[in-house]
Amino acid sequence: MYCWCLPVSVLIHQSRLLFWKCASLDNPVLRTLALCCRDAVGAVCDLYKLTTHDLVVLPVYIVKQIIWDCFSEEGPYLG
């Protein structure tokens, strides 16, 4: 059976990455705080074959597409 939505575990990662993307661009204070957790965000990026630089540079719809493609190619992530 195929579902047209991502599992909650992947959606949480996606939300975390997109929040970090917004936090690292908008406000200098948030940018400084975002740099403190760059390693943790980098670890999540590695799951989806992204870098933190790609995350900042690429538009949101491309980041979402990369996450979806990684999920659909490798099957459901159960861990």
Q: Buried b / exposed e across 5-37, counting CB within 10 Å, b at 16+?
A: ebeeebeebbeebeebbebbeeeeeeeeebeee
Beta-carbon contacts of 30 under 8 Å, excluding residues fewer than 6 positions away, are 23, 24
Nearest CA among 20, 69, 75, 30 for reference residue 49? 69
Q: Please state the rounded mean pLDDT for residues 14-20.
A: 86
The alpha carbon dihedral of 38, 39, 41, 42 has a sign of positive
Quick: pLDDT tens for 46-71.
Answer: 888 888 888 888 999 999 899 888 88
Q: Is the pLDDT of residue 5 over 80?
A: no
